[in-house]
Each structure stands twice: as structure tokens, then as C-alpha cells.
Amino acid sequence: MTSESAWTGRVDGTTPQQLRWHQAVTPYEPGKGTGVCVFVGFACEEGVRRNKGRLGAAAGPDALRGALAPMALDTALRAFDAGTIAVTDDRLADGQRRLGETVSALLDDDAFPVVLGGGHELAYGTYLGLAGATRRTPGSIIGILNLDAHFDLRPDPVPSSGTPFRQILETDDDVRYAVIGISQPSNTRILFDTADRLGVRYLLDDDCEPTRVAGFVDDFLSGIDLLYLTIDLDVLPASVAPGVSAPAAYGVALSTIQSVCDRATGSGKLAVVDVAELNPRLDIDNRTARTAARLLHRIVTRHIA
């Protein structure tokens, strides 16, 4: 499924000094070059439905594309779009498998995959992609850094947007998982106990003072080989990101989230990034989509510059 129509916007000219994202993104074909960014959409909200969340995240990928499209580039770059994987029924596992195969193929083509969600059930698919890529050598440690108000470690037997990281940690001993922005009122005691049992590192939203966050991130990065950064937009205050299934009453400041993204990008270990839980149906003036696009703009331009 292609999404060329989302990559539209104002044209000021065609010189490198005048370009916007929609002028830099073209359909992806294997072998387009090393180190390029490739967007992949995951239009799915089946996991959110199972988790009893508010629906609308399936429209997230094109909303993210549309918000990023008119942003001005300060450097010439090439970027590509590999289309969207749509999960239109209850075949969540199949959709996650297809996402994993796509991410693996992109990584093996030496591209930088950026996955646009969709509910946070996309995380299991993104993980499958990194775990199955050739750059994951035997014994290498994958670090998953989740910016999120929720652990997503639910013990539910049916996979959903609330279970992906428990699924990963219970099947892969070479994964380390850390979360920044946990909201205590939004996570039951059993989820904290599960996090402790699985060796999860976390910072509460109350504790996200910039210096403390920086130390937390640097310590986590020092113990891993490959980084998967996942941004659940409900980590941000509801005033910044109203368009999510579960808006945060408190949240983590955008400037702090941006600094985490900067440290992840500067580590040299970032392999893949995704954005989850944008719900355009609930957004206000595209506020959430534009905030997410600003973060992606910064991550990608710094990563592949």
C-alpha cells in the first residue's frame, strides 16, 4: 500500500536550500543507497481495540506523513517511503510478522527504518525486524528504549497494544528494556512487579528532571549494542499531545523527550525508530501530529546527515 498522496505541500523551489520533506521522499526500491531513511506505515489499531483503548490510531501513518511533508529541510537528503502495512481485521500477528519482515529487509539493505503507527502493538513487529536482521550478530544485545506513560507489560494471554514488551522479554534473553515517563496512576502494582521481575529499568514521569534523564539514558546505552527507540506519544503532556488514546494528565516535557532522542541519535547505536499511538480523530489542530513530526524531523536529519 503506497501513500504518495500524503507527501504534498508548498514548493518554494528545487534547490537544496529550498526543499521540504515532500520533495525529498520518493517510493522505495531495494538498493537505493546506504544510510538512507525509509518510512514504513503500520495502519493498525487491533491491539488498541483489544486493550480497550479509544480507536483511531490506524489513521496515524498518513497523518504523520502529512505533518512531516511541509517541514523545511536545512540539508539535502534522500528519503524513501516503503508504503503502509494495513491490518484491517483481527489478524494482528500476521501484520506484526509482515512489519518484521519489512524492517529486516530494510536493515539488511543498510537503510534506517522509521515506522509510523498505529497502535503500540507495532512494537512487537519492529522488534521482530531488528531481531531478524543480519546486523544482529549472535550474543549482541538489543536495547529497547521506550518513551511512554505505560509499561506495556500486561499479562493478558491475548496480545494487544499493552503486551508487546512482555512478549519480547519473555522470549529473548538478549534484550534490555527501559522506559522513560511511567505514570504511576496509569500502571497497576502488578505491572510494576512484572517490570521488576523482568529487570526493566524505568523513570517515573515525576522523576524526569533533565540531568537525571540524561544519566539514565547514557547508562542504558552503555550496556547495549543495537538500539530500538520507540516513542509512544502519550508520554507527552495532554496539552502537547491531545491526539492519543490515553492522554497524559502530567507527562514529560517535550524538551526532555527531544533531548532523549538527541542522545539516542548521537550514540551511534540507533538502528530503528517508531512512533505509536497518534490518533488523528482525537487531535486538536494537528497538534500531536506536528509534535511527532518535529521529533522525527530532528531524529532523521541528525541520524543520516
Block means of pLDDT (10 residues each) for the chain, 305 residues, are 75 91 94 88 97 96 98 90 94 97 97 97 98 96 98 96 98 98 98 98 98 98 98 98 96 98 98 98 97 98 86
Q: 124 to each of 8, 73, 85, how far by Cα in Å?
A: 30, 31, 14
**SS3 state at 164:** helix
CB 299 within 8 A of CB 260: no
Q: In 3D, which of 293, 235, 245 has the Cα closest to residue 70?
A: 293
For cell 529487509, what's the residue?
A: 105
pLDDT given for residue 2 in this prediction = 46
- The CATH number of residue 142's host domain is 3.40.800.10
Beta strands 226-232; 142-147: pairing state: parallel
pLDDT given for residue 4 in this prediction = 62
Query: What is the C-alpha to C-alpha distance for residues 151 and 200, in angstroms, rounded to an integer?
Result: 9
Q: Is the dihedral of CA 113, 239, 202, 260 positive or negative?
A: positive
**SS3 state at 247:** coil
pLDDT given for residue 118 in this prediction = 94
Look at the chain and report how many structural domains it folds into. Answer: 1
pLDDT given for residue 35 in this prediction = 84
Beta strands 270-276; 25-27: pairing state: unpaired
C-alpha cell at 142: 538489543
**SS3 state at 41:** strand
Q: Which domain holds residue 62?
A: 4-303
Query: What is the C-alpha to C-alpha distance for residues 102 and 216, in angstroms, rounded to an integer?
Result: 31
